[in-house]
C-alpha cells in the first residue's frame, strides 16, 4: 500500500545532549506535516543536571527518554545508542521515514545509510549544523525558523559561517530555467522540487516568507500566472505572454473553419 506524507510512519530520534527542549513543540508540529510520529525517543544521560529542562517536554509530548551513561570522558555514548536504535527500527520494517534531531555531524553516515535502504530522512538542527549532515538528509529543517524560534536567538550567533544563505535571485533564476517549458513558464511545484533537490536545507522561511509562492511573488525579477495548484512562474522579459497565446488560438480555429466552408 502506498503511503502519503500525512500517513507516513515516522521515527523521531532526538539527540537531547545537543538539542534544547525549547524546540520540541515546534519541531513536532513541523514533522506532523510529513507524517505520524509513531516512535518518539530522546537520548542522553538523564542523571545529569544539564538535561533537567527536558522533563516537562518529555511528559507533554509522550517522548520516551533513553538513558545512556557517559562511560568515558570525551566520548559521546548518546550518539552510539541513537544509531543502534535507528538500525533496529530500520530492520523492523514498520517505518517509512526517520527524523534525526541533532546538529552533530556524527549522524551523517546514519542518514546516508537509512536513505540507502529506501527510507526518507528528515534532519532538524541549528544553523551551525555541518554541511555534511545537511546534505545527507532528504530534507533538512533549521530549528531557528520554526514557531517562536523565528525571532533572533543567541544560538543563531554560533551559526557556522558556511551556513550563509545562497543568493536568492541566482537560486530562483536557476530553478526557473531548469524547470521551464519552451514558453519560459515553470510550474511552482516543479520549482519547489528542484530547490529541495539542489539544496536539502532550502526553506522559504529562511528568507522571511511563510511559503514558496509568497517568496516568489515578492521578487521583482519574476512574474506569475494562474492560481492554486496551477501557478506558473517565469523570468520577466523571457516568457511568452499568456494573453498573446490566448489570442492566437481563436485565429487558427477561424482559419480552419473558413477552409471547411470553402
Can you tell me which residue has the cell 514498520? 94
- Cα 153 to its chain centre, rounded Å, is 21
Nearest-CA neighbor of 66 among 15, 21, 19?
15
- The mean of the pLDDT values for the chain is 84
Percentage with pLDDT > 70 across the chain: 80
What is the arithmetic mean of pLDDT over 19-39?
Answer: 93
Mean pLDDT of 151-178: 69
Q: Which residues contact 84 (CB under 8 A, 6 or more apart)?
A: none
Q: Is 34 left (phi over 0), alpha (psi -120 to 50) or beta?
A: alpha
Q: According to the model, what pLDDT value does residue 61 have?
A: 95
Q: Report the distance separating Cα 17 and Cα 53, nearest Å.
A: 12
Long-range contacts of 185-190 (CB under 8 A, 24+ apart): 185/225, 185/232, 185/233, 185/234, 185/239, 185/240, 186/232, 186/233, 186/234, 187/230, 187/231, 187/232, 187/233, 188/212, 188/213, 188/216, 188/224, 188/231, 188/232, 188/233, 189/229
Long-range contacts of 179-182, Cβ-Cβ distance < 8 Å, separation of 24 or more: 180/234
pTM, two decimals, is 0.74
From CA 91, how far away is CA 96, in angstroms rounded? Answer: 11
- Do residues 22 and 149 make contact, with C-beta atoms less than 8 angstroms apart? yes
How far CA 1 is from CA of 37, 173, 234, in Å, comes to 19, 38, 37
Q: For position 152, what pLDDT does the model report?
A: 46
Read off the pLDDT of each residue in 114-138 and give the average, rounded to a whole number.
96
Least confident of 117-131, 147-161, 198-212: 147-161
CA distance 67 to 5: 31
So what's the pLDDT on residue 247?
46
Residue given cell 511545484 in the structure block: 189
The domains located in the chain, with CATH, are 9-163 (3.40.50.1010), 169-243 (3.30.420.610)
Q: What is the pLDDT of residues 62-118, one digit of tens each?
A: 999 999 876 655 456 678 899 999 999 999 999 999 999 999 999 999 999 999 999
- Outline where DSSP puts E strands in the chain: 9-15, 36-44, 64-67, 97-101, 120-125, 139-142, 186-187, 222-225, 232-235
Amino acid at each position: 500500500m502506498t503511503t502519503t506524507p500525512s500517513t507516513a510512519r515516522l521515527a523521531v530520534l532526538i539527540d537531547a545532549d545537543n538539542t534544547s527542549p525549547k524546540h520540541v513543540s515546534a519541531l513536532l508540529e513541523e514533522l506532523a506535516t510529513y507524517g505520524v510520529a509513531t516512535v518518539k525517543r530522546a537520548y542522553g544521560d538523564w542523571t545529569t543536571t544539564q538535561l533537567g529542562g527536558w522533563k516537562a517536554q518529555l511528559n507533554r509530548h509522550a517522548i520516551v527518554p533513553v538513558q545512556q551513561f557517559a562511560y568515558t570522558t570525551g566520548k559521546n555514548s548518546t550518539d552510539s545508542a541513537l544509531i543502534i536504535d535507528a538500525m533496529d527500527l530500520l530492520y523492523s520494517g514498520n517505518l517509512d521515514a526517520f527524523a534525526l534531531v541533532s546538529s552533530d555531524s556524527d549522524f551523517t553516515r546514519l542518514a546516508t545509510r537509512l536513505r540507502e535502504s529506501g527510507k526518507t530522512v528528515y534532519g532538524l538542527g541549528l544553523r551551525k549544523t555541518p554541511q555534511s549532515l545537511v546534505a545527507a538528509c532528504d530534507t533538512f529543517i533549521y530549528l531557528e525558523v520554526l514557531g517562536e524560534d523565528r525571532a533572533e536567538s543567541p544560538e543563531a550567533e554560533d551559526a557556522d559561517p558556511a551556513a550563509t544563505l545562497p543568493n536568492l535571485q541566482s537560486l530562483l533564476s536557476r530553478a526557473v530555467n531548469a524547470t521551464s517549458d519552451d514558453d519560459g513558464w515553470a510550474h511552482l511545484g516543479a520549482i519547489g522540487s528542484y530547490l529541495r533537490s539542489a539544496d536539502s536545507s532550502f526553506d522559504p522561511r529562511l528568507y522571511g516568507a511563510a511559503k514558496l509562492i509568497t517568496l516568489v511573488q515578492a521578487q521583482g525579477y519574476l512574474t506569475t500566472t494562474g492560481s492554486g495548484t496551477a501557478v506558473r512562474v517565469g523570468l520577466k522579459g523571457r516568457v511568452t505572454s499568456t494573453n498573446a497565446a490566448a489570442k492566437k488560438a481563436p485565429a487558427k480555429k477561424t482559419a480552419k473553419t473558413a477552409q471547411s466552408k470553402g
